[in-house]
Amino acid sequence: MGKCEQCIIREFNSLKSLTKQELTRISGCKVSKTIKKGEVLFKEGEHINGVYCIRDGICKVSKMSDNGRDQIINLIKKGDIIGERSLVNNEASNLKAIAVNDVQVCFIPKEEILNGLQNNIDFSMDMLKSMANSLKNADNVIVDMAQKTVKQRLAATLLFLHNKFKSNEDGYLDILLTREDIANIIGTATESAIRLLSEFNKKGYIKLKGKQVVVTNPTELQQIAQGF
Amino acid sequence: MGKCEQCIIREFNSLKSLTKQELTRISGCKVSKTIKKGEVLFKEGEHINGVYCIRDGICKVSKMSDNGRDQIINLIKKGDIIGERSLVNNEASNLKAIAVNDVQVCFIPKEEILNGLQNNIDFSMDMLKSMANSLKNADNVIVDMAQKTVKQRLAATLLFLHNKFKSNEDGYLDILLTREDIANIIGTATESAIRLLSEFNKKGYIKLKGKQVVVTNPTELQQIAQGF
DNA sequence: CGATTGCTTGACCCCCATCAATCCTCGTGG
DNA sequence: CCACGAGGATTGATGGGGGTCAAGCAATCG
């Protein structure tokens, strides 16, 4: 496999602050994996003992609720790192990660990351910033979940997907989620999500081409998401 | 005011990892404040330029949603620190903090904390752990908000308050929240919260003595929170 | 080419947001 | 000391949002 020192992906995450030396060390012990669509990267309760750096593809990160439904907490893609949290507080993962499409990841053992955190201030500051940002984001999600209607949340989610995953100028996404996935992001029943998607489609805010969802009127969706 | 080196409060948070020297420096430039019940510690959009260490009392930390309702994100008490996030990523606060009862805080300037993060690995690791923990917590809240009914969330919230704020053996809380506050934690209308509180009261899971809410049957509330 | 999985729509009903009226409680000023 | 006003607590009535069950259809796969 390639060498971390030459990997562009790390520019997108905290690993960019590591030194050449550190990267070389990591390069020597990292493990590259391919996870096929639908397969599990790690599951709840598992001890990950390291972090995953996503080189390509998309994973849905979810957590099982008491009522037995999977709530999707996050979608991670190329350049994202996952597993730092369990690593830092030395606990088993409380989340599950499943490949939405074929995914290539590099696994970096715990010791290497801890070593970096202990000896490289820039790296640990980057990690802190990244977590601080995730926390801010989580707060926003909590407020939305608590206060917004399902319709508002769907509009917000479509915009989120549009902004994070749109590939080319025609607005198609790099990601293909099932209706159930979308419902599990919003936190609603699949049928409710479907009905609202159909409504948005009729009104021309989005286009449904098979399973593809294309946002055609972001402005209007923004309005809806904010409650108008 | 007292000296940080001798302050017991810091044992409850990341500041415990600071050296005697660092604490002495901080002691010299910290500012102690008293915030009266209902007053604002800081508000959304404000540049805090430091962190607050709660010495006594309770603050509700909230965020305004698009529809104009305040969502309470967190309740912080003696020993908690707030403001690290905005400090780390150098942004204005996205949250508001209001004193629930009279609160005593120490304000520690940004530079001191940054200095600690730069030079004291133990301190920054503690901060990382603290944030990792908050993130795990936030994930749980997101799942609950997305998947649970208002009744379940109320039961869970009552248990949370019971565990975090119960003072003496008779189950009374150190905290006195209005019905509106409780509703704003759950993310529901005040009337809905009131109705359910009344229902729990009739069934004997809690006791309502004036504004005081006392949990009398945690086991049953646990069952409800999990959906039975 | 069955069979499984995902998508869609209809029907039903309960939860909960909202509006409204009343009661309670406490702090303030006369 | 009491009246009174304001904010909080409570209860009722009502309507819509959204969860759930069920049936039919489309698409994908071994």
CB contact under 8 A, A71 and B131: no
Closest CA of chain A from B33, distance in Å? 26
Q: Is the same domain home to A186 and A122?
A: no
pLDDT of residue B168: 66
Bridge-partner residues for B103, per DSSP?
Answer: B35
| Alpha helices, H only, A4-149 | 20-29, 84-88, 110-119, 121-147
Task: Protein contacts on strand D: list nucleotides below 7 Å from a Cβ.
Answer: 8-13, 17-22, 27-28
Q: How many independent structural domains does chain A possess?
A: 2
Last residue of a domain, one of B86, B117, B145: B145
pLDDT of residue B171: 64
- pLDDT single digits (tens) B137-169: 999 999 999 999 999 999 999 999 999 988 766
Q: Is the same domain home to A133 and A210?
A: no
Of A4, A28, A25, the C-alpha closest to A16 is A4
Q: Is the same domain home to B20 and B110?
A: yes
- pLDDT single digits (tens) B20-53: 999 999 999 999 999 998 999 999 999 999 999 9
The partner residue sitting opposite B227, judged by closest CB among A67, A133, A146, is: A67
Q: How confident is the model at residue A169 (pLDDT cuts 50, 70, 90)?
A: low
Closest CA of chain B from A71, distance in Å? 6
Q: Read off the DSSP letter of residue A69.
A: P
**Which residues, other chains included, contact A20 with Cβ-Cβ below 8 Å and sequence gap of 6+?**
A5
Cβ atoms A41, A59 nearer than 8 A: yes
Q: Is the same domain home to A132 and A61?
A: yes
Give the dihedral of Cα atoms A70, A74, A77, A79; nearest 10 deg.
Answer: -140
- CATH number of the domain to which A31 belongs: 2.60.120.10
Q: Is the same domain home to A45 and A130?
A: yes
Last residue of a domain, one of B97, B118, B145: B145
- pLDDT single digits (tens) A82-112: 999 999 999 999 999 999 999 999 999 999 9
CA distance A193 to A180: 8
Q: Read off the DSSP letter of residue A8.
A: G
Q: Is the same domain home to A184 and A131?
A: no
Q: Which residues of A touch B129 (CB under 8 A)?
A: 88-89
pTM of the model: 0.95
Structure tokens at A164: 């994070």
Q: Is the same domain home to A104 and A167?
A: no
Bridge-partner residues for B166, per DSSP?
Answer: B173
Last residue of a domain, one of B121, B145, B169: B145
pLDDT of residue A171: 65
Distance A176 CA to D22 C1' (A): 28
Q: Is the same domain home to A121 and A28?
A: yes
* Chain B contact present for A125, CB below 8 A: yes
- CATH number of the domain to which B220 belongs: 1.10.10.10
pLDDT of residue B63: 96
Sign of CA dihedral A142, B69, A157, A208: positive
Of B118, B4, B113, B98, the C-alpha closest to B51 is B113
pLDDT of residue A168: 66
- pLDDT single digits (tens) A15-71: 899 999 999 999 999 999 999 999 999 999 999 999 999 999 999 999 999 888 999
* Chain B contact present for A21, CB below 8 A: no
* Chain B contact present for A121, CB below 8 A: yes
Give the dihedral of Cα atoms A190, A194, A196, A199; nearest 10 deg.
Answer: -170
Q: Is the same domain home to A140 and A156?
A: no
* Chain A contact present for B61, CB below 8 A: no
Q: Is the same domain home to B82 and B161?
A: no
Q: Which residues of A touch B143 (CB under 8 A)?
A: 63, 65, 71, 73
By C1' distance from the Cα of A191, the closest nucleotide is: C8
Report the chain B residue with the minimal C-alpha distance to residue A116. Answer: B121
Residue A25: helix, strand or coil by DSSP? helix
The parent domain of residue A209 ranges over 148-225
Q: Which residues touch strand C (CB under 7 A)?
A: A 178-180, 190-191, 194-195, 197-198, 208, 211; B 67, 149-151, 187-189, 191-192, 210
Q: How confident is the model at residue B194 (pLDDT cuts 50, 70, 90)?
A: very high
* Chain B contact present for A223, CB below 8 A: no
CB contact under 8 A, B145 and A148: no
Distance A199 CA to C3 C1' (A): 31
CB contact under 8 A, B129 and A84: no
Closest CA of chain A from B37, distance in Å? 24
φ and ψ at residue B79, rounded to 5 degrees: 100, -20
Q: Is the same domain home to B213 and B133?
A: no
CA distance B178 to A216: 44
Q: Is the same domain home to A122 and A164?
A: no
Does A170 have pLDDT greater than 80?
no
The partner residue sitting opposite B147, judged by closest CB among A69, A124, A136, is: A69
Report the chain B residue with the minimal C-alpha distance to residue A227. Answer: B67
Q: How confident is the model at residue A11 (pLDDT cuts 50, 70, 90)?
A: confident
**Which residues, other chains included, contact A177 with Cβ-Cβ below 8 Å and sequence gap of 6+?**
A60, A100, A161, A185, A213
* Chain A contact present for B149, CB below 8 A: no
